[in-house]
Structure 1
Amino acid sequence: MADGTVSKVKDAPRNPVGREGVLDVAARLFREQGYGSVSLRKIADAAGIKAGSIYYHFGSKDEIVVAILDVGIQVVHEKMRQAVSALPEGTDAETILRAAIGTHLRALLDVSDYTSANVRIFGQVPQSVRDANLPTRRAYEAEWDALLSRLQERGALKPDVDIRRLRLMLIGALNATLDWFDPDRGSAEALSRTYADVFLNGILERQDS
């Protein structure tokens, strides 16, 4: 009888939520409450499982955070890459940049808790977590740098534009919208057009000399 009991325990599913379910719940909590306010117990309670069940999938809270940070960037990266790649060969630089800007912004504001959580908690997490997320982050930055460099080589960007600084300024401005964007006062699509207009055309009227 004892052997049968052990066998049944071993064959039983570890928990009904699963790894992705834990990540989904945790991403929402981190987006809403920040890094410091969310514990493994809070994640387990929100997921409707016992705290110990999380250890079937993750060794620690920070392991969960790294996974969320990675997914948050990968979602935006893949959507941005696909949007640019889908454009016909010979597409003008303005259209390309509008596609990249719009995709990044919509991914932040419309797609998932992962992208929002990534931006909101990255500055709160320990250095070890940032270091673990660095390869994923660097890959997305490299995608932007390569795109901007290609446009500069084509003569679409001014030759004296510092690509790295431009990318930092652009992505930083887009990410900051999470702090104030209100979907009741306008769509992410309209906001992306406004940002693209400012970055591509400037804000000052040209004065005739």
Structure 2
Amino acid sequence: MAETITRSPRTRGLRTRPSAAEDRPPKRAEVSRQQILDVAASLFRARGYTETSLRDIGAQVGMKAGSLYYHFASKEELAADVLRIGVERVHEAVASAVAALGPGAPMKARIEAAISAHLETLLVESDYTSAHIRCFPYVPPSLKAQLSQARRDYEAIWRRLLDEAAAAKALAPGIDAEVARLAILGALNWSLEWFDPVRGRPEELIRTLVAAFTR
């Protein structure tokens, strides 16, 4: 039940000025680490790594740039968390989508599930994954090194999947499994540059890739 508030005739119908507590920007302790990560992921996705500053991120969460150091030692440390989460989320999505079909599922269906899960995470579900794809080529070498294991772990899913497809003769004739992996992931990640979410999920791209690389 909503609380009933009685106002005097003098104040009824008038907007009262917010209290000092309501009017002030949030303190650093009131802004959670998760809020900062979410804002950073959104800005990294939209602008890229080099064009996003700590000042930009701080402005979005209502903090001065210097106050962000309460949570993160540097922009690089913040970006490392955002990009790591991004690759972990797509890893989990693809692994879950393939596993849900069961080990006896046709290879074509498993590859289609992996493609669909990658696209869904990249384009619809996660600013973090989109930020990873957009920013990784431009981050410092030290940050790339920090992310290398997480990226290798995710790539291993695709290597295993496509190697199994090749062994089952489920790849299109003349298609090498490693070339297929690079081509599929390249096409999926490039969709970030042209896909319009207003038009819905990119079913045509999914069908095209499955038809091009499987039989």
* TM-score of the superposed pair, with normalisation by structure 2: 0.80
Tell me: CA distance 1:191–1:153, structure 2 relative to 1, closer, same or farther (3 Å). closer
SS in 1 for 2:63: coil
> Matches of 1:158 and 1:112 in 2, distance apart?
31
**Correspondence for 1:4:** none
* C-alpha distance in 2 between matches for 1:140 and 1:89: 19
More helix by share: 1
Task: Name the CA distance, whole Å, in 2 between partners of 1:134 and 1:184.
Answer: 33
Which blocks of at least 5 consecutive residues in structure 1 are unaligned? 1-12, 202-209
RMSD over equivalenced CA pairs, Å: 2.0
Give the CA deviation at 1:200.
2.8
Separation in 2, partners of 1:64, 1:107: 21
Q: Which amino acid aligns with 1:89?
A: P
- Paired residues of 1:35 and 1:125 also in contact (CA < 8 A): yes
Amino acid at match of 2:55: R
Q: Residue 76 of structure 1: which of 86, 90, 94 is its match?
A: 90
Equivalent residue pairs, number? 189
The higher radius of gyration belongs to 2
| Partner residue in 1 for 2:123 | 109
Aligned to 1:17: 31
Q: CA deviation at 1:67?
A: 1.0
What residue is the counterpart of 2:109 in the other structure?
Answer: 95
Cα distance in 1 for partners of 2:92, 2:177 equals 21
Distance in 2 between residues matched to 1:89 and 1:121, nearest whole Å: 35
Change (3 A) 1:192 1:155: closer
Q: Determine which of 185, 191, 197 is the counterpart of 1:177.
A: 191
SS in 1 for 2:30: coil
Is residue 2:79 matched to residue 1:65? yes
- Which one is further off, 190-199 or 92-101? 190-199
Deviation for aligned residue 1:194:
3.4
Separation of aligned partners in 2, 1:28 and 1:89: 36
Cα shift readout 1:114-159 (whole Å, capped 9, x = no counterpart): 1111111111111111111111101101111111112222332369
User: Percent same amino acid at aligned positions?
Assistant: 46
2:210 is the alignment partner of 1:196: yes
* Contact persistence 2:37–2:78 (CA under 8 A): yes
**Offset of residue 184 of structure 1:** 2.9
* 1:43 paired to 2:67: no
Q: Distance in 1 between matches of 2:79 and 2:195?
A: 24
Task: State the Cα distance separating 1:21 from its structure 2 match.
Answer: 1.0
Q: TM-score, normalised by structure 1?
A: 0.83
My pick for the range that moved more, 184-193 or 47-56, is: 184-193
